[in-house]
Structure 1
Amino acid sequence: MAFADHDGVPVYYDARGDVAAPALVLLHGFGSSSAHWKVLGYASAFERTHRVVLVDARGHGKSGKPHAREAYALGLRLGDVHAVLEAAGIRQAHFCGFSMGGWMALGMALQAPERVASLTLVGAHPYAERFDAFAGVDGSDGDVFLAAFERFLGEPLGPEARRMLLLNDLRALCAAAIDRDSMEAGFLRLPMPVQVCVGEHDQRHVPAHRAAQAKGARFVAIPGVRHADTLNATGTLIPAIKQFIAGAEQGVL
């Protein structure tokens, strides 16, 4: 079990695969953890060819869970990722992030483009997003939290997803539910290869597609999938990510 420290917040990470191989950082979504990448087979699918780095975002998994809203500013979250890269001895990596993790991966690409070899956004886009659904929600009532989360997603959650969410520190998640500023201008100027993947029935499909078109990025629509189910579409996503990364490494994108 490995931890990096960023200003007193322990950040859990799991680095697996050949240390000499190109690195791939996987960043999970809100209310999830790095374990999700393992359970669904993403980690094992890539660790044969890459140094796979799984990170628990602050407020999630085994990482520290501050309850103060100011502890979740994007700059602090990116500092956590930098701390992991330094602890793991990684100068540059491919980044793939789902939902919140996509927001963080995009933030890394804008803040430190030299560290990002390629960028894959899954169920994410560069436009502003507000967390008005969480107004007045402090995590003290699980049912209220779940209702707010469903309003934010724009879709209902299945029983297993609801059960897993309630295992979290809900006060930390509510503190982490901060509005996201637009990164559109920077996104359009990114120098590295960019791929955008999104579910056909995700309410983020339209803005994600619009962003990919504006950028000239590779776009992958995942048929029949809503936001919460996106990563379950391994038969589509894993090959798409593999092909994209291979193209980036060969300089053919």
Structure 2
Amino acid sequence: MFATATDGTKLYYEMAGDSGSPILFIHEFGGNYDAWEPQMSQFARRHRCITYAARGYAPSDIPAGIDSYSQSIAVDDAIAVLDAAGIDKAHIVGLSMGGFTALHFGLKYTDRALSLTIAGAGYGCEKETADYFRGVSLTVADKFEEDPVAFAEIYGRGASRVQFENKDPREHLKFVARLARHDKVGAANTMRGVQARRPSFWDLEDALKACTLPALIMVGDEDDHCLQPGIYLKKMMPASGLLILPKTGHTLNLEEPALFNQHLAEFIAMAEAGAWGLRDKRADPDQVMRTN
């Protein structure tokens, strides 16, 4: 099935499950719609699940110009998929690049989200490494543009991916194979137009504080450049909870699928029951011990 974005770009999506509240899964740069298979299979038992290929990822369209790629466009694409699927509101679940989209979805289209799950998001947010990240993103774009198959072997074994390889070599090989199928134009434009230009969480403070949607923030403890951004989101978002998975890297939903599914299921159940509320005002972060 295909949705049509506001600029006419065709977005491929799949659905599973025919009852229950909807969940929209948004993939990372290194993935595609099929990287959510462990979640689609599990959650389709009780939910209507949707996953889609972002623009630049086959079988979705691959626009040739960089101006067709941005964080804002990515959010609008998610809305286009929900509209095509006939869904008014959904739980929004994103990993890494998809986690950024999930967050911005909640800030821009608050009335279309039942909850937000922001997993493995934070690269480029830390001010001290922002320039380095943008430079690396542009280099990665060049490398994928030159030879996606060869570069997949390098990119797929980065510092926050080796944890996945060590735990589950067979599934990690599938992850690298998925990387190797990236379209060179789509991957390069996504890196240059979305990754290298998206705003830092620290530039969104007022909007984050105003967002009262139930939010689950997930981070692996060896995904170093997502740890502080994850803590920052927890401090800023009044209805958020932070989950840190031990001995875990960046590819959370595939590296630890059972834990990911367990905690996501519990979060969604609590959100739907109205039990995932705002932080109690008595939990004052400036207080060490109460004295009166």
TM-score by length of 1: 0.88
Partner of 1:239: 262
Residue 54 to residue 202, structure 1, CA distance change in 2 (3 Å): same
- 1:164 Cα deviation from its structure 2 partner: 2.6
Residue 148 to residue 232, structure 1, CA distance change in 2 (3 Å): closer
> Counterparts in 2 of 1:133-152, with a 5 A limit?
133-135=136-138, 137-138=141-142, 139-142=145-148, 145-146=151-152, 149=155
SS at match of 2:228: helix
Contact in 2 for aligned 1:32/1:60 (Cα 8 Å): no
> Counterparts in 2 of 1:14-93, with a 5 A limit?
14-18=14-18, 20-38=19-37, 41-93=38-90
Question: d(CA) in 2 for partners of 1:33 and 1:117?
Answer: 23
Residue 229 to residue 241, structure 1, CA distance change in 2 (3 Å): closer
- 1:95 Cα deviation from its structure 2 partner: 0.6
- 1:168 Cα deviation from its structure 2 partner: 1.0
Identify unmatched segments of 5+ residues in structure 2: 166-171, 277-292
More moved, 126-135 vs 210-219:
126-135
2:3 counterpart of 1:4: yes
Q: Of the two, which has the highest radius of gyration?
A: 2
More moved, 81-90 vs 140-149:
140-149
SS at match of 1:163: helix
SS at match of 1:251: coil
SS at match of 1:135: helix
Contact in 1 for aligned 2:120/2:220 (Cα 8 Å): yes
- 1:229 Cα deviation from its structure 2 partner: 5.3
Contact in 2 for aligned 1:202/1:227 (Cα 8 Å): yes
Letter in 1 for 2:11: V
Residue 148 to residue 85, structure 1, CA distance change in 2 (3 Å): same
Structure 1: 4+ residue segments shifted above 6 A? none
SS at match of 2:93: strand
Partner of 2:117: 120
Letter in 2 for 1:171: V
Question: d(CA) in 2 for partners of 1:156 and 1:120?
Answer: 21
Question: d(CA) in 1 for partners of 2:218 and 2:161?
Answer: 21
| % same residue | 28
SS at match of 1:176: helix
- 1:154 Cα deviation from its structure 2 partner: 4.6
Give CA-to-partner distance per residue, 1:11-53, whole Å, 9 cap, x none: 01112212x5211101110031111111xx2111111111101
> Counterparts in 2 of 1:202-213, with a 5 A limit?
202-203=223-224, 204-213=226-235
2:178 to 164, 172, 181: 164
The structure with the greater share of residues assigned to helix is 2
Contact in 2 for aligned 1:198/1:230 (Cα 8 Å): no
Contact in 2 for aligned 1:113/1:192 (Cα 8 Å): yes
TM-score by length of 2: 0.77
2:243 counterpart of 1:220: yes
- 1:239 Cα deviation from its structure 2 partner: 0.7
Residue 144 to residue 179, structure 1, CA distance change in 2 (3 Å): farther
SS at match of 2:146: coil
Partner of 2:280: none
Partner of 1:199: 220
